[in-house]
């Protein structure tokens, strides 16, 4: 069973997360998600437990529990496809709005190689 844990303190490590869930059953993996640029925790993680029954017990007992000064949220992890498409900030195309007259919006044409003196 894959478990989603959110509202984690930024000080929590993978090992801390694993230790929190170990009393409920065998842990396959425990991972705190970090920012790929800064390496800092993003405040959530995933725990994979071998036994679904033990995983459900951990969810029931740890959801809204205080851990390192914060009330953590614990639930069954949903597959990424159910959460909808990921937001992409790289594509800036698409509808720009405005009137329907078309034409040039004015300004300097930076693509032109001709210079006026």
User: How many Å apart are CA 44 and CA 30, to the nearest integer?
Assistant: 11
Q: What is the CATH number of the domain that holds 35?
A: 3.30.70.330
In a domain? residue 8: yes
In this structure, are residues 58 and 74 in contact, taking their beta carbons and an 8 Å threshold? yes
For residue 88, pLDDT beyond 60: no
The pLDDT of residue 79 is: 86
Give residue-wise pLDDT tens across range 65-74. 999 999 999 9
Main-chain dihedrals φ then ψ at residue 56, nearest 5 degrees: -65, -35
The residue range of the domain holding 8 is: 2-79
In a domain? residue 101: no
Number of domains in the chain: 1
- pTM, 2 dp: 0.68
**pLDDT class of 108 with cuts at 50, 70, 90:** low
For residue 85, pLDDT beyond 60: no
Give residue-wise pLDDT tens across range 45-84. 999 999 999 999 999 999 999 999 999 999 999 987 755 5
User: How many Å apart are CA 36 and CA 101, to the nearest integer?
Assistant: 44
**Mean predicted lDDT score pLDDT of the chain:** 84
**pLDDT class of 109 with cuts at 50, 70, 90:** low
In a domain? residue 28: yes
Whole-angstrom CA distances from 13 to 20, 45, 73, 83, 99 are 11, 10, 16, 25, 53
The pLDDT of residue 97 is: 57
């Amino acid at each position: 069973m894959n478990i989603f844990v959110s509202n984690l303190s930024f000080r929590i490590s993978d090992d801390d997360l694993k230790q929190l869930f170990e009393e409920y059953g065998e842990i396959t993996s425990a991972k705190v998600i970090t920012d790929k640029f800064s390496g800092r925790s993003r405040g959530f993680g995933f725990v994979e437990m071998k036994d679904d029954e033990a995983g459900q017990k951990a969810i029931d007992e740890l959801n809204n529990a205080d851990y390192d000064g914060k009330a953590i949220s614990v639930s069954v992890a949903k597959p990424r496809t159910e959460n909808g498409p990921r937001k992409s900030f790289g594509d800036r195309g698409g509808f720009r709005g405005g009137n329907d007259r078309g034409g040039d919006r004015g300004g300097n044409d930076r693509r032109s190689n001709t210079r006026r003196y």
